[in-house]
Structure 1
Amino acid sequence: MNKRIPTTSPCVAAANKHQPFSKRLAHALVFIMVLSVISDVHTAKADNETLSTRSDQTGITLSLYQHNLALVTETRSITLANGRNTIIWQEIAPALKPETAWLRLLQQPEQLQIHAQHFDLKRLTPQSLLESHIGKTVTVIRIHPTTGEETRETATVLSTEGGGILQYADRIETGVPGRLAFSTIPDHLHNKPALHFTLDNKLTLPTPLELQLIYLTQGLTWHADYVLELDQNDRLASLTGFATLTNQSGIDFYQTKMQLIAGDINQSTPVRTPVARHLAKEIEMTSAAAYADIESTPHFELHRYALPETITLNNDQTRQVSFLTARAIPVEKQFVLPGQSHYFSSYYFSPEQKQHIDVYISFQNTGGDLGRPLPRGIIRAYKQDQKEDVHFIGEDSIQHTANNATVRLKLGQVFDISAEKKQTDFKRIPTPDNATRQFETAHQITLNNAKKEPVTVTVREPIPGDWRIMYESHSHKKISSHLAEWHIEIPADSQIKLDYRVRTLL
């Protein structure tokens, strides 16, 4: 519940043991003893100052983006008096972007006028507390190592750098020999991050108001991970999609409505991903059956996935939820020999160059359990052997993929199909104006199939400039202005040679 902060409060004492004071005095312990502290850490500056914590919360929604960014929408019930009020909104994400904070009244918004807001960046630590007492007196407490007798002496803090400098009544010393006791905590130091709002409430009677705070924060993100399982014949596959949620924002989110936003948003300044203080303490998997039917909803030019149940995402936690399950997906396997454009304008002395052939798996995002937007992520492919042991066979990343689009995955290189390529002729043909360059090159590609079944290999050559095939042993297809393809069928345990001559004008 929210509470009104009084203008005066009794003194209390607090201690904080075993805190390092500085690098120079790494073995010194600073014990912070607070002899007098204002209630709830702050001294109220106005009669109508209200401290709000999560106990006032009536709802919270977290919208995660794939760019180390999240939108927090939190609603709290807070009672305000008529007239000028100050709200200290505690328990917010420490990594929030203060300039994005937006407070609004859900009912009768015209009755609330916000005059100012600020975010407290200075946190309460032993070092910041000592720095705030420069020029002020503190109490130094020493314990005799033999007798255990405690002595107290006042000193003025002159500096906190290089181990600290304290001025006593009869001397000046460097370093902190014992514990320090402080009589107050300055108003600008806070034990929790907080937003301060100064506003006018035009409602006459004090009533609970539904106030909603909206802000952007870093330290929260999500990405998609997919599992693709091929059948024995490499003709059908099942696909499962998981949303991996990561929280390094410095705060826990309890029983939160979660929305996953897929798509690319423009941001005026680059977002720096924070370095994790340590690895996530926990990775939790939510049952695939629980969220397998999450629907994607268009939202502006993005897509939104709303989880059907509230979840808890603690700080330093990574959690996965399933959002897609599709079975019996027809897939196509393709063997591709990629080329390089510099082969057509340079002379190669090497008689033969061994080439690797890539294997691709593709499917259509349409029909059946698919036919929905697929967020950007990594698809990892697996396949069972005859003993039903599962093996990892490769992975590839996909961009945001719309409905009815083709998903094409490069899983690796083929073991039993190989290729050798050599340049059999090279000519540089003079041009009348010498402003352009013209080449004529001849090539031979030897394709070897060691499999027990026939295969088809796609030879893909990116040819630059204005080009024309002068001769070829197999017919090609002009896929684009700079791409020629040959589809070569190779019988089992056989070898096929592809010869062609091309003239290019650059």
Structure 2
Amino acid sequence: MKPLAPLLALLVLPGAARAQAAVVSDAPQAVAVTIYRDGPVETARLRYAPPQEGLALVTETRRLDLPAGRSVVKFRGVAERIIPQTATLEGLKAQVVERNADYDLLSPAALMVKSVGRTVRIVRTDPATGRVTERPAVVRAAGDGVVLEIDGKLEALGCAGLPERIVFDDVPPSLAADPTFSMVVESEKGGPQDVRLSYLATGLSWSADYVATLSADGRSIDLFGWITLANMSGARFGETPTHVVAGDLSRDDGTRPIDPPWASAPRLCWASGVAPSGGPPIPPLPVPRAERRLEAVEEVVVTGMARQSDLGDYKLYSLPEATSIAARQIKQVAFLHQPRVAVQRVYAFDYDGGDEAEPARVLLRLDNRVAEGLGKPLPAGSVAVMEPAAGGGTILAGEDRLERDLPVGLKGDLEIGQAIDVTVEPRIVEEKHVDGRERRTVEVEILNRKPHPVRVEYRHRMAGQGRLVAGPRPQEASAGDLLWRLDLPASSRKVLRYAVAN
């Protein structure tokens, strides 16, 4: 994809140089936001996500009052990380002549750069007497440093040795406090009309997290799910219907926001490159919006329960009511509460050739079906498993992640730790060559020291073209691996013996 300039001129018709009336839409009447994700995201990373990550579809309803003829329509307050090449406009009763994404945003550096040639006021304070003086000055340069013309002489800002500040009487007309998307349109007849502006923007993302509380008998869980929204875009969305989409969305790497150029105006004395003596240190200019990466999130807000519906091949979760998503805010909404979801505790062991006794891994197995108390799609995310404590209350039993979305009808395992009382000790008891192949006999001792029965899944990982030549038939033999399921009574021992040839 060819790089796009910050000014997107898509089409210019003859006569574009004629005088054009300006129509300004300061803010939308209504906004709806649908947030996608670049694969499963860890919630802990959301607060540090750079603004180029995440993806949202923003739909704004705006009222325009167009004059007849040619005019410039300015949509102020669009998302700061708008991807202008994706913008569409519905309901406009006019012909679009030209589209522009305007990036001259008001900031200290931009204000100084855009004031070159303009008159400002410089205010200085004598630290010894406290006397304040104010004089007019013309900004002559604002690149690596600021050069002022005062009484016909040039002076670099910050070299006077006194605390000083610049006062601007007005804002240059090319600067705007909010990002602006503008269009040149040609209308046969004027009048008010409602239009819908839709575009993609980055800086908004979401994640899923779950809390699974085991029942006293360990056979079911109370499953609670949270959606976490993160707005790192620098734009505020007020009272907005909000949706999130679960699923792996294909994206074009070239469809990204156009990074606006930003200018720095260091307040250092050009002659020395350091802050002048004789006054307090000059504070640095604020970090440009695009560079704000690791600032603290302002707050975390919790709202009500979301609703799930289908969206083609994806799943759509809608917040229960319109909500405000402030800039640099994280907001949480519950989207799932499913009590009495059946689970099976399984103790798993994978053998790849060692001879040491090891504890088995503890798995909680979900079967995502209505008959098992679930039957709802689960977006990928982290899961904290809580277990009743002997003295009352609950304690953390372990954590894991659903690495991929779990659709209805499939099973999923949560690995929450290792068992102390269930151990597996495999040993190679015989090795020999038969018909040019290496044959190994493995004997596995499985101990259950628990006061109740357990199920153990023992998997022999096969390398190359190996096959089973002796022993009990495994329950599964997928991808070359051999899997046996063994049920052990309380405080019992079992031995599995088999032979494989490679």
Give the TM-score taking structure 1 as reference length.
Answer: 0.77
State the partner residue of 1:394.
398
* Pairing partner for 2:26 from 53, 62, 67: 53
Q: Give the Cα separation in 1 of the matches to 2:139 and 2:234.
A: 35
Question: Structure 1 residues 186-195 or 489-498, which shifts more?
Answer: 489-498
* Structure 1 counterpart of 2:73: 87
Counterpart CA distance in 2 for 1:459 and 1:156 is: 78
Q: Secondary structure at the match of 1:89?
A: strand
Contact kept, 8 Å, 2:22 with 2:74, in 1: the verdict is yes
CA 487–464 in structure 1, closer or farther in 2 if over 3 Å, else same: same
CA contact (8 A) 1:355 1:421 kept: no
Q: 1:440 to 1:51 in 2, by over 3 A?
A: same
Contact 1:123 1:192 in 2 (8 A): yes
Q: Is the 8 A contact 1:296 1:373 kept in 2?
A: no
Q: Distance in 2 between matches of 1:147 and 1:406?
A: 75
Alpha-carbon distance between aligned partners in 2 of 1:149 and 1:258, rounded to the nearest angstrom? 52
For residues 83-232 of structure 1, the aligned pairs below 5 Å read 83-105=69-91, 109=92, 111-134=93-116, 138-145=120-127, 146=129, 148-161=131-144, 163-168=145-150, 171-176=153-158, 177=160, 178-182=164-168, 185-202=171-188, 204=189, 206-232=190-216
Moved over 6 A (4+): 270-275
Which residue in 2 is equivalent to 1:371?
375
Aligned twin of 2:488: 490
Q: Deviations over 1:245-267 (max 9, x none)?
A: 11122122111111221111111
Closer, same or farther: CA 478–166 of 1 in aligned 2, 3 Å: same
Whole-angstrom CA distance in 2 between matches of 1:374 and 1:245: 17
Classify the secondary structure of the residue corresponding to 1:128.
helix
Shift of 1:66: 2.2
What CA distance in whole angstroms lies between the structure 2 residues aligned with 1:138 and 1:430?
A: 95
Question: Counterpart amino acid of 2:483?
Answer: E
What letter corresponds to residue 321 of structure 1 in structure 2? V
- 1:269-308 equivalences under 5 Å are 269=253, 276-287=293-304, 291=305, 294-297=307-310, 299-308=311-320
The residue that corresponds to 1:382 in the other structure is: 386
State the match for 1:253 in structure 2: 237
5+ long unaligned stretches in structure 1: 1-44, 432-437
Deviations 1:183-220 (A, max 9, x none): 66444322221111111122x2x422101111111111
Query: Would you say the 8 A contact 2:101–2:182 is kept in 1?
Result: yes
Q: CA deviation at 1:411?
A: 1.7
SS in structure 2 of the partner of residue 295 of structure 1: strand
3-state DSSP class of the match of 1:279? coil
**Is 1:477–2:475 an aligned residue pair?**
yes
CA 148–459 in structure 1, closer or farther in 2 if over 3 Å, else same: same
Contact 2:237 2:325 (C-alpha < 8 Å) held by counterparts? yes
Aligned to 2:219: 235
Q: What do the CA deviations read for 1:276-308 (whole angstroms, capped 9, x no partner)?
A: 442322222224xxx36x2322x2221222334
Instruction: Please name the residue that 1:333 is paired with.
Output: 345
Report 1 or 2 for greater relative contact order, CA contacts < 8 Å, sequence distance ≥ 6.
2
Q: CA deviation at 1:122?
A: 2.7
RMSD of Structure 2 on Structure 1 (CA): 2.8
**CA shift in 2, pair 1:118/1:427, >3 Å:** farther
The one-character-per-residue Cα deviations of 1:47-71 (angstroms, maximum 9, x if unpaired) are 52022122xx332211111231111
Does residue 66 of the first structure (1) align with residue 40 of the second (2)?
no
What CA distance in whole angstroms lies between the structure 1 residues aligned with 2:115 and 2:67? 35
Amino acid at match of 1:128: A
Q: Note if contact 1:140-1:179 (Cα within 8 Å) is conserved in structure 2.
A: yes
Residues 74 and 183 in structure 2, CA contact (< 8 A), matched pair in contact too: yes
Residue 21 of structure 1 corresponds to: none
